[in-house]
Chains A and B, each alone.
Chain A
Amino acid sequence: MKTNFLMLHTITRIVAFIILSFSVFLFFAGHNNPGGGFIGGLMTASALLLLYVSFDLKTIKRVIPFNYSTMIAVGLLIAIATGLNSFLFGDPFLTQYFEYYDLPVLGETELTTALPFDLGIYLVVVGVALLTILTIAEDDA
């Protein structure tokens, strides 16, 4: 008898996107509310994992053609580059800056250098979690 995954697939399709969007919210909320790069990254990773678990590896690989090892490298580079940025102003490594701006649509918004740094963390966390798990999962030896 062929197992029917209809329920799982249907729910996953919806839930995964809810989790994904929530993870993006968490990532941006980070500075002033619970959230941040690490949590956002883990949340994204778990949403993607849900997809991988309910559908098979091949399908998801076709749909999300990310190379997670590149993602780790890019994340690290972004984080380090944010840190190096402070050299331009003669400050020590990883000095973070913030300023309030009046932006259209968003109104008064705080822009920080912590955000790109956090983006780096986010990418590394997603990359590490998925790379590790997928590598082990693909291993058929």
Chain B
Amino acid sequence: MSTLHYLVLAPFIMAIFVPFFYKWFRNIHTGWFVLILPTVLFVYLLQYLPVGGPMEPLQLTVPWVPSLGINFTVYLDGLSLLFALLITGIGALVVLYSIYYIANKKDEPLNNFYVYLLMFMGAMLGVVLSDNLIVIYVFWELTSLASSLLIAYWFHKEKSRYGAQKSMFITVTGGFSMLAGFSLLYVMTNTFSIQEIIAQAGTIINDPLFIPAMLLILLGAFTKSAQFPFHIWLPDAMEAPTPVSAYLHSATMVKAGIYLVARLTPVFGGTAQWFWLLTIFGLVTLVWGSVSAIRQKDLKAILAFSTISQLGLIMSLLGLGSAAVHYDVAEVDMLYATAVMAAVFHLVNHATFKGSLFMVVGIVDHETGTRDIRNLGGLMTIMPITFTISLIGLASMAGLPPFNGFLSKEMFFTGTLNATTLDIFNVSTWGFLFPVLAWVASVFTFAYCMIMFFRTFTGKYQPEKLKKEAHEAPVGMLISPIVLASLVVIFGLFPNLLGYTIIEPAMQSILPNLLGEGDRFYVNIYHWHGLNPELFMTIGVVLFGMLVVLNLKRWQETTFFLKERDPLNRVYDSGLDGLITGSQRVTNFQMTGLLRDYFAFMMVFMIFLVGWTFIQFDALSFESLAMFDAGEVTPFLWIITLVLIAATVTMPFIQQRITGIIVVGVIGFLIALLFVVFRAPDLALTQLLVETVMVVLLLLAFYHLPELRKEKFTPRFRFTNLVISVGMGLMVTIIAFSVHALRQTSGFDPISDFFVEASVPLAGGYNMVNVILVDFRGLDTLLEVLVLAIAALGVVTLIKHKFKGGEDV
């Protein structure tokens, strides 16, 4: 275990102590204790930033399940470092912000909040720092779980629970499909290590499983990163406390999909499918998100759709940039690598401006009691600092100079324009759409930024519509957004601060094969590009965006604007309803409440399953009938067998329970006798004792039951039952015959030989049965008694804690 391993585990370890902090230091906000961790981790991670030299990837392995190729390998390169810094950096700011956002009230479960938050932080660090696909998967699902728990933090609200469930369903479905994709990768490459898979990237490209693996993994990435049409969970996730939205649902978790795509670009990149899937889904999400954002009335909903659209932007950039892997000519590569550069740069920028905007919206909500833009207005003079931060954040998001959003948006345009010149993947036919869609989406992005800004801060202040008297937020709450907003300005003015520390190492991880020995990407970002198409596109965006906003009144009456909810939600809701009613129908059909029906189901199933297996493997054999020699059977055995048969035959005709129990007991004791004859004293003893205890138990249980009723059965019902019981009996008999015959003819070594030989030297016991029970198959025994214990608990619960009438389970 190295320091980096502990770094991943640190949040989990910290989470153990949070409840104690909460309980023992009730007067101090628990957040102050939690704040220490991400701050320390962030500072610690800073030392890995490459200053004045290329970044050397770091790989450290701790075996976990080495026999299955699952190791907890930490892999730290440019891409991981970028994400790890985001997670810890934004994490620290969010924790600081949350201390003021969620007041330390008496019944506020702060301990839950911070435990979930730390769980998320650790899981997310695990995702971005692991090299092993299975480890990534485990942490990936943990982030989904933590996210869902955080969305439902105020679980008394119906909407919170709905949002939590929705995000859980969608992201976990995607995660599961991703696991299938990982398994296919393993089938192809025989390793779970991403670096080893990348080394084999050239050979697996023609594998028939290559495309299925890609599709399954992309499904995981798209659901997590809220790509169209899976984006519908993100707006509902806004029910979470605002710090959570800022952290999980804009800066980090939703970027896990982006991370995965970037990480696997060396494997899948360069293929037409990867290029088109990422580009199309990304661009559609970009446009859909920005158009949907326009019609939202809730500030957080606007930000949610804006996040969706920005995630689409990054996704499409990664798609366009993956074309670079296709070529081997260095000059051409650099042209398309611009898109990847833009993706990485925008990732950082988005985290800064969107993080600050979420916090600002949280402040507005906190200080006025509403987030509805129809009730807000005129806050500019009342909340001057909040206003300034918003101005910076929104201007950056809209893509205005001199902020960082302008730079990455220009690079985005460059990337799409470059992509039109591609001469592969039939881009020449549809490629012109890339810049067009990018431009349209940017117009709407500009428009919703304007709406957010003007509707909140300008216009008339309407105190009567607000729940509280508006005033500026406390200083502590403003620190985090101020830090982020300053970063927006700093990265905007000095973008090359990031150039060789963050962007270039991350690009190296995404496109590792592009560079020769000692080569590096040249990252040089500057504001003034000359009078090029990108600049005119930006000017167009501003002009048309203003047009959209000015004409908003006219459009506001259309149905498109009035319906805020995404129409795709209907698909999800009816799908979920259908799933529930469908499974209820299946359950009601099979759960009749009659024991005999369950027996019938089980037996029919067993007959078919075992019978099919026997026929499939040609194992049926009646040779043992031919080997049968009546002379070997002693008269004693004859008597036992005949009485046994007689007792069994009388069973169906018995009308009284007591008689039935006694006859069953007789059968049991006779079988015990058979065991004695065949030299199995342990079995005989067990059988005798079980039979004794069972008879007592049955007598007691039947004491409480009503008398058996005379029931009229239709002949058809009787016939079906007869067929089932005869079928079951026949099957068991035939199996016994076949097993006996196969043992003689097939030459299999019975496994009992092993136990006969090994029980004394390996376990020191002469009673083989018992040695098997306690030693060779000890785990089975342990689990069996566990089942027994659970069954006993079940009996106690059923009898001592009965449901009163009218309750449903």
The answer to whether A and B assemble together is yes
A76 interface residue (CB < 8 Å to B): yes
A98 to B770, CA, bound (A): 14
Given A46-B693, A139-B799, CB of A121 within 8 Å of CB of B700 = no
Q: Which residues of A contact B770 (CB under 8 A)?
A: 30-31, 35-36, 118
Main secondary structure of the interface of A (DSSP, over half): helix
Whole-angstrom distance from the CB of B527 to the nearest CB of chain A? 62
Q: Once the chains bind, are B682 and A79 in contact (CB under 8 Å)?
A: no
Count chain A residues whose beta carbon lies closer than 8 angstroms to a beta carbon of B.
51
- Chain A: which residue is nearest B684 at the CB level? A34
Q: Which residues of A contact B781 (CB under 8 A)?
A: 38, 121
Report B456-504 residues with CB < 8 Å from chain A CB. none
Can you list, as one digit per residue, whether each of B505-522 has a CB less than 8 Å from chain A (1) or not (0)?
000000000000000000
Q: Once the chains bind, are B792 and A128 in contact (CB under 8 Å)?
A: yes
Given A49-B693, A121-B785, CB of A131 within 8 Å of CB of B796 = yes
Can you list, as one digit per residue, whether each of B765-809 has a CB less than 8 Å from chain A (1) or not (0)?
111011101110011011001101101110110011010000000
Q: Which residues of A contact B795 (CB under 8 A)?
A: 131-132, 135-136
Count chain B residues whose beta carbon lies closer than 8 angstroms to a beta carbon of A.
40
- Chain B: which residue is nearest A112 at the CB level? B764
Q: Once the chains bind, are B692 and A46 in contact (CB under 8 Å)?
A: yes
B771, B782, B791: the one contacting A31 at CB < 8 Å is B771
Whole-angstrom distance from the CB of B702 to the nearest CB of chain A? 10
A31 to B700, CA, bound (A): 34
Q: Once the chains bind, are B697 and A98 in contact (CB under 8 Å)?
A: no
Given A42-B689, A137-B700, CB of A93 within 8 Å of CB of B767 = no
Can you list, as one digit per residue, whether each of B128-168 has a CB less than 8 Å from chain A (1) or not (0)?
00000000000000000000000000000000000000000
Q: Once the chains bind, are B782 and A80 in contact (CB under 8 Å)?
A: yes
Given A31-B766, A53-B696, A132-B795, CB of A42 within 8 Å of CB of B690 = yes
A33 interface residue (CB < 8 Å to B): yes
Q: Once the chains bind, are B697 and A76 in contact (CB under 8 Å)?
A: no
Given A42-B690, A43-B689, CB of A34 within 8 Å of CB of B792 = no
Q: Which residues of A contact B775 (CB under 8 A)?
A: 96, 114
Q: Once the chains bind, are B685 and A133 in contact (CB under 8 Å)?
A: no
A31 to B765, CA, bound (A): 5
A121 to B799, CA, bound (A): 25
Can you list, as one digit per residue, whether each of B282-310 has a CB less than 8 Å from chain A (1) or not (0)?
00000000000000000000000000000
Whole-angstrom distance from the CB of B691 to the nearest CB of chain A? 10
B763 interface residue (CB < 8 Å to A): yes
Q: Once the chains bind, are A32 and B697 in contact (CB under 8 Å)?
A: no
B659 interface residue (CB < 8 Å to A): no
Q: Once the chains bind, are B700 and A136 in contact (CB under 8 Å)?
A: yes
Given A34-B682, A94-B778, CB of A76 within 8 Å of CB of B765 = no
Whole-angstrom distance from the CB of B177 to the nearest CB of chain A? 33
A141 to B793, CA, bound (A): 19
A132 to B793, CA, bound (A): 8
A33, A83, A118, A125: the one contacting B788 at CB < 8 Å is A125
A124 to B781, CA, bound (A): 11
Can you list, as one digit per residue, whether each of B741-753 has a CB less than 8 Å from chain A (1) or not (0)?
0000000000000
A136 to B363, CA, bound (A): 61
Given A32-B765, A93-B779, A136-B700, CB of A39 within 8 Å of CB of B689 = yes
Whole-angstrom distance from the CB of A71 to the nearest CB of chain B? 10
A49 to B691, CA, bound (A): 13
- Chain B: which residue is nearest A69 at the CB level? B796
Can you list, as one digit per residue, whether each of B672-709 has a CB less than 8 Å from chain A (1) or not (0)?
00000000011001100110110011001100100000
Q: Once the chains bind, are B767 and A83 in contact (CB under 8 Å)?
A: no
Q: Which residues of A contact B697 (CB under 8 A)?
A: 132-133, 136
Q: Which residues of B contact A96 (CB under 8 A)?
A: 763, 774-775, 778
Q: Once the chains bind, are A79 and B767 in contact (CB under 8 Å)?
A: no
Which residues of A are at the interface with B, using a C-beta cutoff of 8 A? Answer: 26, 29-39, 42-43, 45-46, 49, 53, 69, 72-73, 75-76, 79-80, 83, 93-94, 96, 98, 100, 110, 112, 114, 117-118, 120-121, 124-125, 127-129, 131-133, 135-137, 139, 141
Q: Identify 5 residue pairs between A and B in the complex whose beta-carbon atoms are under 8 Å apart, listed by A's number.
A: A31-B766, A33-B767, A72-B789, A98-B765, A131-B795
Which residues of B are at the interface with A, using a C-beta cutoff of 8 A? Answer: 681-682, 685-686, 689-690, 692-693, 696-697, 700-701, 704, 763-767, 769-771, 773-775, 778-779, 781-782, 785-786, 788-789, 791-793, 795-796, 799-800, 802
